[in-house]
């Protein structure tokens, strides 16, 4: 599944690299462009895979259709179909547990605590809530155990705390999965939300699952499968780089004991650069449909929403509307900030502005904004813990909205850009 996608996309192809800093150096130099490395310690590696273009291509749609497709699919997530394919087991090779140190798991930056799994989708199951799939950074320790950064208030954290007193919790980590699985695993929903069914709905076809050998789980078909047990033991995790490209703190986090390692023949390992564009896309893209639905309830003429790469696809957004009344721009600002509480800055533009072109957005700000009337500033709001400039102790930040839409009071004729006719007169 992943191999077919790799063969079909435009990419930078390199012969070899080292696990320690070599992979990350290459991914950093080619940030935003898919990279395929033929040999890293005897394995093949793909990185910078999930761009908007590649995700759309993997789903069989155009990039411009991606937002609409996600919004529609979120409303029909339960229609996804999961199939356990027992024939897939024969396509996997069993490795000894010591092989974890031979896998091409990168050490990305100079102060990292060690090699990190960054693209692994973690699968757990609860008898009441069902299956949960989510992405977490996972440190590979010298003794072959793992440490997972488990974010509070997330479903994995909830399932872990609910079940750990009864004993170790079965888990599996899948690496090298279809982009739909990565996108779904990055999407937040309520406890009934089934990420794997959502992935199937995004793909418009059944998602094939593989039965694990040492834990009671079925997982999406992947290049690598790591089976294990989440334990009560807590050990140091970090330091490690977060989405802003700055270091996160060291915390005590749960230890995972590996029970099985399995991989495809000639498996391709997916290395996801922390703080790179792929990291930002996978964090931000799933938020956009939620923002779209929230803003549309307030401004029905909403056209599109994008969390910007310069804003780490988390802290800044651009919203496109077909302005009908003079207050629409400011209403869209307030609705956007409410729909994505981590949002710090939002710019609202008319639908003639390309929200994916920062120069076009800056043009709107430069020619359609008066700072004393078109900028909204909110002080003392709850912000994102990922913003290093915020008041981290009290978790407060200042938020700003820019209404960069054309003034209806002045008249749109003053703002319309000249166009060259398509045909000679």
- Dump pLDDT digits (tens) for 29-42: 999 999 999 999 99
Residues 396 and 388: their CA atoms lie apart, in Å, by: 11
> What is the domain-level CATH number for residue 11?
2.30.110.10
Q: Is 97 buried (19+), middle (13-18) or exposed (0-12) by CB count in 10 A?
A: middle
List the catalytic residues.
242
* Beta-bridge partner residues of 261: 95, 226
Q: What is the pLDDT of residue 251?
A: 93
Pairing label, strands 82-84, 302-307: unpaired
Q: What is the pLDDT of residue 38?
A: 96
Contact 374, 297 (CB under 8 A): no
Asked whether residue 82 falls in the same domain as residue 168, the answer is yes
pTM of the predicted protein model? 0.88
Q: Which of 232, 278, 261 is nearest to 48 (CA)?
A: 278
| Domain edge (last residue) among 281, 301, 332 | 281
Contact 23, 37 (CB under 8 A): yes
3-state DSSP: the chain helix, strand, coil percent, rounded to 5? 30, 30, 40
Angle at 125 between CA 123 and CA 129, to 5 degrees: 125
Asked whether residue 241 falls in the same domain as residue 290, the answer is no
In a domain, 422, yes or no: no
pLDDT digits (tens, 9 = 90+) for 128-147: 889 999 999 999 999 999 99
User: What DSSP string runs through 249-262?
Assistant: PPEEEEEEEEEEEE
In a domain, 420, yes or no: no
177 pLDDT above the threshold of 80? yes
In a domain, 263, yes or no: yes
In a domain, 352, yes or no: yes
424 pLDDT above the threshold of 70? no
Q: What is the pLDDT of residue 190?
A: 81
Q: Which of 233, 213, 240 is nearest to 225 (CA)?
A: 213
Confidence of residue 105 (pLDDT cuts 50, 70, 90): very high
| Domain edge (last residue) among 246, 281, 316 | 281
Asked whether residue 264 falls in the same domain as residue 303, the answer is no
> What is the domain-level CATH number for residue 293?
3.40.1670.10
| Domain edge (last residue) among 281, 313, 343 | 281
Confidence of residue 28 (pLDDT cuts 50, 70, 90): very high
Asked whether residue 144 falls in the same domain as residue 233, the answer is yes
Give the E-state strand segments of 289-374 in sequence order: 302-307, 316-321, 345-350
pLDDT digits (tens, 9 = 90+) for 288-345: 999 999 999 999 999 999 999 889 888 999 999 999 999 999 999 999 999 999 999 9
Please report which helix (H) or strand (E) contains residue 122, including its range.
strand 121-126
Which structural domain range is residue 294 located in?
286-410
Asked whether residue 120 falls in the same domain as residue 194, the answer is yes
In a domain, 222, yes or no: yes
Lowest mean pLDDT among 47-56, 73-82, 222-231, 248-257: 73-82
The mean pLDDT of 227-236, rounded to a whole number, is 97
Asked whether residue 263 falls in the same domain as residue 311, the answer is no
In a domain, 10, yes or no: yes
In a domain, 386, yes or no: yes
The mean pLDDT of 35-50, rounded to a whole number, is 96
Asked whether residue 26 falls in the same domain as residue 6, the answer is yes
Q: What is the pLDDT of residue 134?
A: 96
Contact 133, 121 (CB under 8 A): yes
Asked whether residue 170 falls in the same domain as residue 230, the answer is yes
Angle at 69 between CA 67 and CA 75, to 5 degrees: 105
The tally of CA atoms less than 13 A away on the side-chain side of residue 214 is 18
Residue predicted with more confidence, 374 or 425: 374
Asked whether residue 125 falls in the same domain as residue 142, the answer is yes
Asked whether residue 27 falls in the same domain as residue 90, the answer is yes
- Number of domains comprising the chain: 2
Residues 316 and 359: their CA atoms lie apart, in Å, by: 15
The mean pLDDT of 96-120, rounded to a whole number, is 97
Q: What is the pLDDT of residue 274?
A: 95
Q: What is the pLDDT of residue 1?
A: 66
Confidence of residue 92 (pLDDT cuts 50, 70, 90): very high
The mean pLDDT of 148-161, rounded to a whole number, is 90
Asked whether residue 191 falls in the same domain as residue 234, the answer is yes
In a domain, 421, yes or no: no
Asked whether residue 244 falls in the same domain as residue 312, the answer is no
User: Dihedral, CA atoms, 340, 196, 257, 283, nearest 10 degrees?
Assistant: -30
Computed over every residue of the chain, the mean pLDDT equals: 93
């Amino acid at each position: 599944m992943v191999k077919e996608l790799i063969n079909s996309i435009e990419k930078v192809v390199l012969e070899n690299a080292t696990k320690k800093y070599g992979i990350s150096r290459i991914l950093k130099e080619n940030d935003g462009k898919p990279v395929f490395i033929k040999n890293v310690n005897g394995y093949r590696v793909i990185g910078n895979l999930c761009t908007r273009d590649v995700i759309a291509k993997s789903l069989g749609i155009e990039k411009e259709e991606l937002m609409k497709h996600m919004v529609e699919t979120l409303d029909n997530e339960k229609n996804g179909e999961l199939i356990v394919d027992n024939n897939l087991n024969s396509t996997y090779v069993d490795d000894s547990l010591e092989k974890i140190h031979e896998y091409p798991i990168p050490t990305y930056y100079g102060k990292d605590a060690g090699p990190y799994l960054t693209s692994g989708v973690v699968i757990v199951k609860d008898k009441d809530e069902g299956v949960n799939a989510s992405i977490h950074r996972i440190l590979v320790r010298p003794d072959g155990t793992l440490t997972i950064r488990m974010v509070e208030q997330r479903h994995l954290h909830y399932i872990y705390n609910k079940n750990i007193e009864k004993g170790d919790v079965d888990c599996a980590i899948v690496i090298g999965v279809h982009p739909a699985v990565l996108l779904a695993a990055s999407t937040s929903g309520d406890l009934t939300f089934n990420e794997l069914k959502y992935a199937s709905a995004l793909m418009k076809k059944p998602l094939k699952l593989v039965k694990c050998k040492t834990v009671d789980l079925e997982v999406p078909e992947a290049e690598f499968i790591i089976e294990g047990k989440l334990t009560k033991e807590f050990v140091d995790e970090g330091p490690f780089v977060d989405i802003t490209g700055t270091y996160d703190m060291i915390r005590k986090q749960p230890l995972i004991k590996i029970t099985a390692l399995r991989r495809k023949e000639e498996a391709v390992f997916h290395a996801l650069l922390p703080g790179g564009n792929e990291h930002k896309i996978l964090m931000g893209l799933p938020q956009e449909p939620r923002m779209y639905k929230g803003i549309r309830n307030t401004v029905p003429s909403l056209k599109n929403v994008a969390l910007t790469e310069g804003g780490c696809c988390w802290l800044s957004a651009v919203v496109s509307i077909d302005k009908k009344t003079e207050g629409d721009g400011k209403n869209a600002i307030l609705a956007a900030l409410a729909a994505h509480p981590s949002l710090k800055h939002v710019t609202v533009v008319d639908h003639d502005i390309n929200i994916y072109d920062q120069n076009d957005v800056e043009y709107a700000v430069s020619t359609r904004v008066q700072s004393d009337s078109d900028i909204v500033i909110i002080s003392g709001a709850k912000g994102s813990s990922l913003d290093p400039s915020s008041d981290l102790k009290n978790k407060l930040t200042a938020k700003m909205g820019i209404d960069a839409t054309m003034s209806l009071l002045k008249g749109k004729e003053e703002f319309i850009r000249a166009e060259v006719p398509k045909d000679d007169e």
